[in-house]
Amino acid sequence: MASLRDIKRRIQSVKNTRQITKAMKMVSGAKLKRATDRAVAARPYQESLSRVLGRVAAAAGDTITHPLLVQHEQVEKVLVVVMGSDRGLCGSFNGNIFRRLERHIEKERESGKTVSLRTFGKKARGHFGRRNYNIVSSVTDLTFLGYADAALVLADQLSAEFANGDVHEVWLSYNYFKSAGTQIPTITRLLPLSVAAGGKTAARRPPRAARRARSSTSTSPTASVSSTSCCRCSFAPFSSRRSSTPRLVSTPRVCPPWTTPPETRVT
């Protein structure tokens, strides 16, 4: 049986371990906050650039001739850019997107296409390398300070390969960031750029799981307003939540464009 001294020593050891883990939790929380801010900060710029590009291409119609808009009659070579992580212990972050990409590659191969990969992250390289996929290049140990340089190099490589006819389609496989606990596996086409209805590029359309229902509003002063929030501001048109009958108290304000989700904006 342990003596009283051993028990006290054990209690003190557990307390010291608890202090260490508490400090580690605070550091991890700060890192997660910074990563979340970085993931969300660049999204308005990307959405605005995609919207402008789509409108310009739609307005130009058939008069514009750009190498990145060329639609190949026969698609034989497909390149997929895979975004993964360098480390594990992140739940289904890698597994979900890898499984979905494998199903996508099988469909492309069934139609007679040749698929090659450009991987980012050790997990992506290891997963598809063990399964004998054709990996053209692989980038690992990428830090935040190197994101911009890596993106520029990748954009130049993809544009040059597509313009030269080395590949006929370019796809991007990544996790669409919705929240810290929810990332939506998404596979979208980058090249060739295609213009969808309304002047939006189809390659930048948000994933279906990330879309929200639009708020149904009316210009009539006597009409009722939907109780659904119009944007991230969580603006509730009705002030009384206790009453079973909604009561219109004011006209909803116009939310700033940077707070409105892409799926609810009217262009």
In terms of C-beta distances under 8 Å and separation of at least 24 residues, what long-range contacts does 2-9 make, across chains too?
none
* pLDDT tens digits along 196-253: 544 444 444 444 544 453 443 334 333 333 333 444 444 333 334 444 444 443 444 4
Q: Grade residue 88 by pLDDT with cuts at 50, 70 and 90.
A: confident
Nearest to 161 by CA among 78, 87, 59: 78
Residue in this structure with the two tokens 């999204």, named with its chain if needed: 43
The Cα 97–Cα 176 span in angstroms is 10
Sheet holding 135-139, edge to edge: 135-139, 114-120, 77-83, 169-179, 182-191
Catalytic positions = 90
For each of the domains in the chain, give its residue range(s) and CATH number, in order of start. 72-191 (3.40.1380.10), 212-267 (no CATH)
Nearest to 179 by CA among 261, 75, 86: 261
- Strand positions, DSSP E, 89-181: 114-120, 135-139, 169-179
Task: Yes or no: say if 101 and 187 are a contact pair by the CB < 8 Å rule.
Answer: yes
* pLDDT tens digits along 42-76: 788 888 888 887 787 777 666 667 788 888 888 89
pLDDT of residue 157: 92
